[in-house]
Amino acid sequence: MKIFLGDKLVDEKDAVVSVFDHGLLYGDGVFEGIRAYHGRVFLLDEHIDRLYDSAKAIALDIPMDKAAMAQAVVDTCKANDIADGYIRLVVTRGKGTLGLNPYLCKKAQTIIIAAKIQLYPQELYDNGLKIVTVGTVRNHTEAINPRVKSLNYLNNVMAKIEAINAGCMECLMLNPQGQVAEASGDNVFAIKNGVITTPPSWCGALEGLTRNKVMELAREAGYIVREDVMARYDLYVADEVFLTGTAAEIISVVDIDKRPIGDGKPGKTTRQLRDLYVECTRNEGALIE
């Protein structure tokens, strides 16, 4: 496997970073998870834009411009013969000292990995997910803003641990006000009487790119789509609930906290949106060539 490290492709065995890298020591850095479909990198420009927005929010200077970064993603896919797969793009603060001071890190480190991924088994796409609400509260927006896709993912990891311990593969996270934020790694949608609703990002949700694309596709299909504050009650009584994410794509939720959603099976609208999304991935994206 070839890994893009710093400013060039290297063999996997040579893809090493310093133990003094602040990404390792303090989770100081940003990342993107990106998908490739049918020889194209899907939503590449949007992912690159979000990466640089996240970096700006944490005062991290990325040592290459957006065009070069996008080309590096394509080159990494090409070097690994990835036509359908998952790209992890990471920018750390770089090598520094054992202290917190980020300004002692001389240069940020870029890492790009292109490989395969399957987040959930096919049976869960066919039958839907069962999830639980966890006690781990989503980070306060003025602590670590969830819109920053940072390497500090312990908030999400702790929520995932609770979910797994409860026998579920995913969970529902609330914000400090008790409102619906997101899942541990995905955005949350509810459908009620034909209206599709998802929490706004200021409620503690990452502004997911799959989320935004699904909202666009739903509106084009004639659905009313809203961003609104939501309580667990709104999910319990919904006709359908589904999650979206780069790795997960679109997956139905059929049970929350032992409450069946709708008839307890993946809903018609969710299936339609998934079909629209899959079709979209066939035709859009930066060519890997």
Catalytic residues: 149
Taking the C-alpha atoms of residue 32 and residue 246, their distance in angstroms, rounded to an integer, is 9
Q: Dihedral of the CA atoms 213, 35, 192, 184 (nearest 10)? A: -120
Is 123 strand, coil or helix?
helix
Taking the C-alpha atoms of residue 136 and residue 140, their distance in angstroms, rounded to an integer, is 12
Q: 195-198 and 40-41 as β-strands: parallel, antiparallel, unpaired? A: unpaired
Sign of CA dihedral 52, 100, 95, 106: positive
Taking the C-alpha atoms of residue 243 and residue 250, their distance in angstroms, rounded to an integer, is 6
Q: 40-41 and 29-37 as β-strands: parallel, antiparallel, unpaired? A: antiparallel
